[in-house]
């Protein structure tokens, strides 16, 4: 199994995430796209941990998963609060900084 092949898979996952971030209007859809990007990064870390036998890379993949959890929690809390105050979660319809 070639390493470059797994790298391509991570690239494809990352670029699909970028596509989602560029096109989605719904804020939750944006969060889903961010999860794709973070997963591509974690995939690269695990791949290089396997290739170079580096345990630190796996630890950093673990940190990525933990930070993704933080990001999802805070992001969804903001979206919930936004849907309550602005009555919309479309990212391009929110115009107020102070609700």
Partner 1 sequence: MTVVASLFAILILTAAVWVVTLRNLFRAALSLGLVLLGVAGVFILLEAEFLAFVQILIYVGAILTLVIFAIMLTATPHGSPEAPAHRQPLAAALASGGLFAVLAGSTQALVWPTLPVSDAVSLATLGTQLVTTLVLPFEVISLVFVAAMVGAIAIASAKRPGSR
Element (H, E) at 54: none
Q: Does residue 79 interact with partner 1 by CB under 8 A?
A: yes
Residues 64 and 10: beta-carbon distance below 8 Å: no
By CB under 8 A, residue 70 contacts partner 1: yes
Residues 6 or more apart whose CB falls under 8 angstroms from that of 43 comprise 6, 9, 10, 13
State the minimum distance, in angstroms, from the CB of residue 67 to partner 1. Answer: 7
Among positions 2-41, residues that touch partner 1 (CB under 8 A) are 2-9, 11-20, 22-26, 28-29, 31-33, 35-36, 39
Among 46, 95, 97, 98, interactor with partner 1 by CB under 8 A? 46
In the list 96, 97, 98, 99, the residue contacting partner 1 (rule: CB under 8 A) is: 99
CA 92, CA 26: separation in Å to the nearest integer?
Answer: 8
């Amino acid at each position: 199994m070639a390493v470059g092949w797994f790298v391509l898979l991570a690239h494809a996952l990352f670029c699909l995430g970028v596509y989602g971030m560029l096109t989605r209007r719904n804020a939750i859809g944006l969060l889903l796209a961010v999860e794709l990007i973070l997963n591509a990064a974690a995939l690269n870390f695990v791949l290089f941990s396997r290739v170079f036998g580096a345990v630190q890379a796996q630890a950093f993949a673990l940190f990525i998963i933990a930070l993704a959890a933080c990001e999802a929690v805070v992001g969804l809390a903001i979206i919930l609060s936004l849907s309550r105050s602005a009555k919309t979660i479309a990212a391009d319809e929110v115009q107020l900084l102070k609700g």
